[in-house]
Structure 1
C-alpha cells in the first residue's frame, strides 16, 4: 500500500474548514465531528468508505481493552510511529490518561493540525505540546 499525496490530503481537509460541528455527521459545509471529517477526507482523497461506521459515544474518558479507532484505521491505512508522522497524516488523540484514543485530527504542517471540535466546527490550529503529547497513533492515507 502506497501513501496518498499529502498535499492532496491537506488541501482536501482544508476544504472542510468552517464546517459546523455535528455529532456523527460527515457532510462538508453542513456538519461533521472529528471522525466525520476524517471519513469525508477519505471519500474525497481515497474513494468510497470500505465499511460502515457503527454508532459511537462522545465520551473522551472512555476506557476499555480495545483501541477501536486504531483497529479500524489499521484495516485501511498505513500506520506510522506518532513521532514520525508528517503533514497529511491522520492522528488519533488520547484525551485523558488511560482512556482509549477517541479524537481524530489531520496534520497540516510541522506544527499545525485540523480537526472538528464541539462548538467550533472544523478548525486549523497550532499543534501545541499539550496536543502533541496526546497523540497515541498515526496513519497515512493510502493512494486511491
Structure 2
C-alpha cells in the first residue's frame, strides 16, 4: 500500500476522537482520546516517523509545540508549517496533503486531504480534521465553502 494511502487509513482511525485543545491522544476502546487539528497531524506523523524537511534526523513529532492559544496566531502557524513541510501549489493537490484554512481572516486550522468515495465509486477530495464545531475528528467532502478558505497546501517530505 502506498504511503499516502496508509496515512489516510491512519487518519480515518482517528475519526470520532474527541476535540481537545492541544490534545495528542487517539481514541481507543478504553478512552475517547482527544486532539485538535494540529494534534491529529502530529499523531499521524508520529505513527509513520515522518521527518521535517529541515533534517534527516528531525522527526515532525519532535517539532511539536503545545503552547499556543485556542485561536492560534495564523502567522506563526503558517511559519511553523512551512518550516517543516513542503509548501505546494493548490493545483498540485493530492491525497494526504495538509491544507491550511483561513478563519476570521487568519490561517488557523489544518486538515488532511483524503479520498471520499461517492455512491458511484468516484473518488473526490475530502478532508479529515479535528473540528471544534463537531467536537471530534470528522471526515467530509472538500466542498466550495472549504475550498474558499484554503490559504496554503503542504506535503509531507516523504510524499514529494
TM-score (norm 2): 0.76
> Where is the helix percentage greater, Structure 1 or Structure 2?
2
Q: Note the alpha carbon deviations across 1:55-103, whole angstroms, 9 max, x for none.
A: 112227x6xxx6212211122212111232111101110012xx32110
Gaps of 5+ in 1: none
Equivalent-residue separation in structure 1 for 2:66 and 2:41 (angstroms) = 15
Q: Please give the per-residue CA displacement for 1:104-129, whole angstroms capped at 9, x wherever unaligned.
A: 10000232110001243000001110
1:112 aligns with 2:126: yes
Answer yes or no: is the 8 Å Cα contact 1:82–1:136 preserved in 2: no
Question: What is the deviation of 1:54?
Answer: 4.2
Alignment TM-score, normalising by the size of structure 1: 0.84
In the TM superposition, structure 1's runs of 4+ consecutive aligned residues that sit over 2 Å from their partners are: 45-48
Q: Distance in 2 between matches of 1:82 and 1:46?
A: 26
Please identify the structure whose Cα radius of gyration is greater.
2
The answer as to whether partners of 1:12 and 1:45 remain within 8 angstroms in 2 is: no
Task: Give secondary structure in 2 for the equivalent of 1:40.
Answer: helix
User: Take 1:111 and 1:44, find their aligned partners in 2: how far apart are those partners?
Assistant: 23
CA contact under 8 A between 2:87 and 2:154: conserved in structure 1? yes
User: Which position in structure 1 is the counterpart of 2:89?
Assistant: 81
Number of matched pairs:
135
